Structure 1
Amino acid sequence: MGTTGRVTDVVIQAVDLRKNFGKVIALGGLDLSVRRGEVHGFLGPNGSGKSSAIRISLGLVRATGGTVRLFADDPWRAAIELHRRLAHVPGDVSVVRLTGGESLSMDFVV
């Protein structure tokens, strides 16, 4: 349920999502809809926008254009609330050699 109080089966909705870094187009117009219970993956070569799409969807990076909603909220504006509902294990973590599942089950104190 988003801050608007709506309950929806769509948990991720991206429309024409774009990210530029200067003149470099990192993400060129992603349209994506993920419903509750579905599993999706991002496949593509280096530099094709996979990480940018995920970082924008998590509210870690601001999009250059387009819109994204995570649980019906804008992840940039509602990042704190959204991060209480999800887990993210970045692929470039070099803490310890753990599987994704092991990483999620660890309790980190910062």
Structure 2
Amino acid sequence: MTNTLSDQPTAWFIAILALAACWPIAQALRHEKLHPLAAYLLFTSLLVLVSAAAFWILIRVASTVFAPGALDRTGFAVAIILLSLAPGFAAARWIVRRPQWRRMPK
């Protein structure tokens, strides 16, 4: 029997709640020419990809810089999560706010 975070119902509930929270944010930030579903899909995709990459980089840097016991504290974990969400949110906000152009290929 595994005891990973992905097997726990609480993790799935938090993930679904976070995806549901992205809908009103994406609709409030989207450009008027962008369809609502496209804005949501762009926002969530870029938020997840950039935040996951930033989280991985921050964990690698923190594990080499700080002592191994420092990563177990709750405050440190919350700080890393918030620091990894910041570039993801900035990239997702940028992609849904810019005007979408449809150009024919040459």
TM-score range, shorter chain: under 0.3
Name the structure where helix makes up a greater proportion of residues.
Answer: 2
Greater RCO (CA < 8 Å, at least 6 residues apart): 2
Greater Rg over alpha carbons, structure: 2
Name the structure where strand makes up a greater proportion of residues.
Answer: 1
Q: TM-score, normalised by structure 1?
A: 0.26
